[in-house]
Amino acid sequence: MKHRLTAFFVICLAGFAQAEPARPTIVSLDYCADQFVLALADRGQILAVSKDAERQFSYLRRKAAGIPKVRAAAEDVIALQPDLVVRSFGGDPQALAFYERFGIRTVQLGYADDIQGTARLLREVAAEIGQPGRAEVLIDAMPAPQAQRSASALYVTPGGVSAGRDTLIDAVLRHAGLQNANDGQGWASLPLEALVRAPPRLMVTAFFGFDDDATDRWSLSRHPVMQRLIEKADVIEMDEARISCPAWFIADEALAIADAARGAP
């Protein structure tokens, strides 16, 4: 009788194992897609990630170590025979229909312009690759919005471009409890004359020294007036890898900014 019960349980367990759907094998085509795939998928699911997966601007670059890298060329992707291709901007969009003809599903990452949007993207990708539970764990760990303060901060890049309302950077500043000193709409060049009249006390900077191609002799950040403004302001340097993609870990960057702002005069 004991042996019969043991055999029964073994058969039942085998049935449950067979009932669980196989998770798809995946190729990721660019470093933004890499972040979602590296965070959510089993390592055995990942056939390849992009060639930028271990670059400085890739937040989960350490997890990409040892995983094959692939060009975003259609012939290279098809040769790997994945079940699923995940992309944000990588590869030729016209190749997506080509993949479908080979039975390869494609997931096109959308864009998020607020913190809640990054959680939505995470859930969408997790559902496609069969790992919804992992998305919820990451979302639950996202830092909550910080208490709002009257202090304002100006986002500054080497090229002199700043972020106003309805941008993800604006959402990050608000999540950090700060007001955005740029009250314009979207992305625009910094108004140097206006900054001279009302110098910002707090600046949040990104990509200074991060990319040698980000500045040239004509960049606003090289202007002596702009350099004096930066020298006189309290400056919080952002982790560029956290803001290079509209991903959930941008909430961690907001918390880091909030902590740094609390220590500023």
Strands 202-205 and 234-237, by their bridges, are parallel
62-113 pLDDT, tens per residue?
999 999 999 999 999 999 999 999 999 998 888 888 899 999 999 999 999 9
33-75 pLDDT, tens per residue?
999 999 999 999 999 999 999 999 999 999 999 999 999 999 9
CA pair distance 54, 52, nearest whole angstrom: 6
The predicted pLDDT at position 125 comes to 97
Segment 120-137 mean pLDDT: 97
Domain boundary among 140, 171, 187: 140
Residue 70 lies in a domain: yes
The CATH code of the domain that includes 244 is: 3.40.50.1980
Residue 92 lies in a domain: yes
194-246 pLDDT, tens per residue?
888 889 899 999 987 665 544 455 567 677 888 888 899 999 999 999 999 99
Q: What contacts 93, CB < 8 A, 6 or more positions away? A: none
User: Are 136 and 180 in a shared domain?
Assistant: no
Reported confidence tier of residue 21, pLDDT bands at 50, 70, 90: low
Percent of the residues in the chain that have a pLDDT greater than 70, as a whole number:
87
Contact 136, 152 (CB under 8 A): no
User: Are 136 and 26 in a shared domain?
Assistant: yes
pLDDT at 4 > cutoff 60: no
User: Are 135 and 159 in a shared domain?
Assistant: no
> How far is C-alpha 144 from the geometric centre of its chain's CA atoms?
18
User: Are 89 and 190 in a shared domain?
Assistant: no
User: Are 117 and 36 in a shared domain?
Assistant: yes
The predicted pLDDT at position 219 comes to 66
The residue with greater pLDDT, 18 or 151, is: 151
What rounded mean pLDDT belongs to the chain? Answer: 88
The DSSP secondary structure of 13-48, one letter per residue, reads HHHHHHHSPPPPPEEE-SHHHHHHHHHHS-GGGEEE
User: Are 248 and 186 in a shared domain?
Assistant: yes
User: Are 131 and 159 in a shared domain?
Assistant: no
User: Are 128 and 26 in a shared domain?
Assistant: yes
Reported confidence tier of residue 10, pLDDT bands at 50, 70, 90: very low
What pTM, to 2 d.p., does this model score? 0.86
Neighbours of 155 (CB within 10 A): 26
Residue 147 lies in a domain: no
Please state the domain count of the chain: 2
User: Are 136 and 186 in a shared domain?
Assistant: no
**Closest by alpha carbon to 192, among 166, 154, 165?**
154
180-206 pLDDT, tens per residue?
999 889 998 888 888 888 898 999 999
Residue 7 lies in a domain: no
Domain assignment of residue 35, given as a range: 20-140
User: Are 48 and 134 in a shared domain?
Assistant: yes
User: Are 135 and 163 in a shared domain?
Assistant: no
Contact 82, 45 (CB under 8 A): no
User: Are 189 and 107 in a shared domain?
Assistant: no
Token pair, residue 247, equals 């991903």
The predicted pLDDT at position 193 comes to 83
Reported confidence tier of residue 161, pLDDT bands at 50, 70, 90: confident
Domain boundary among 78, 112, 140: 140
Alpha helices by DSSP H, listed for the chain, are: 2-19, 31-40, 74-80, 95-101, 115-129, 132-140, 168-175, 192-197, 224-232, 240-243, 250-262
Domain boundary among 140, 167, 189: 140
Contact 157, 214 (CB under 8 A): yes
The predicted pLDDT at position 1 comes to 54
Residue 215 lies in a domain: yes
